[in-house]
Amino acid sequence: MNPKVVYETDRLVVRDWADADGDRVFDIYRRWEVSRWLGAEPRVMTDRGAATRLIERWNERNTDPLYGVWAVEERSTGSIAGTVLLVPLPDPSDGTQSKGEIEVGWHLHPDSWGRGLATEAARAAIAHGFRAGLDEIYAVVRPDNHASLAVCRRLGMRPLGRTRRWYGAELESFVT
């Protein structure tokens, strides 16, 4: 069975994850240059089984047609460039999912960096959210993640400054 396609761009097919994507997920998240920017306490994925479990969690979460953590597949090669997400930010008071503050994010394999794929995937995720009725979408980025800060600028997101509001870490926040 083919994974559900969420949206497409000129170069990308953004879709649910397939079991066959596990090796690529492991290859992305085992890399410190990717994982160092993620989570309150960044850490690399250490075993291939963790990739399978992560795909299962993402696909369980991807039941809402608006929100998800999706595979970014390059149309020309069928290769997975990485992940794009559109998810509720955690509620600052208790860490549960917020219903009002929505985040766009991206995590790409280093072999997919520098070609505008993160910007293209995120721009289409934002459009997907706005078509579904969202009024605004946030991005949160570690202050020294210059590549992702540049993506936020290319997306035309408005900087809100540094905050510790989400994820228990100091982050640059943006909104569009």
CATH assignment at residue 108:
3.40.630.30
CA of 176: how far to CAs of 11, 16, 74, 113, 122, in Å?
23, 25, 26, 23, 12
Q: Which of 119, 90, 124 is nearest to 106 (CA)?
A: 119
Calculate ∠ Cα 22-104-76, nearest 5°: 50
Give the domain range for residue 151. 5-175
Q: Residue 91: what pLDDT?
A: 77
Q: Residue 167: what pLDDT?
A: 87
Q: How far apart are CA 168 and CA 121, in angstroms?
A: 26
Q: Residue 2: what pLDDT?
A: 86
Is the Cβ–Cβ distance between 138 and 87 less than 8 Å?
Answer: no
Count CA atoms closer than 13 A to 51's CA, side-chain side.
23
Give, for all 176 residues of the chain, the pLDDT tens digit.
Answer: 789 999 999 999 999 999 999 999 999 999 999 999 998 889 999 999 999 999 999 999 898 889 999 999 999 999 999 999 999 998 776 555 556 899 999 999 999 999 999 999 999 999 999 999 999 999 999 999 999 999 999 999 999 999 999 888 899 999 99
Cβ-in-10-Å burial (0-12, 13-18, 19+) of 41 comes to exposed
Provide the β-strand partners of residue 15. 5, 71
Task: Name 121's Cβ contacts closer than 8 Å, sequence gap at least 6.
Answer: 9, 12, 14, 72, 81, 82, 84, 106
Domain count, the chain: 1
Q: Residue 65: what pLDDT?
A: 86
Q: Residue 93: what pLDDT?
A: 63
Cβ-in-10-Å burial (0-12, 13-18, 19+) of 43 comes to exposed
Is the Cβ–Cβ distance between 4 and 15 less than 8 Å?
Answer: yes
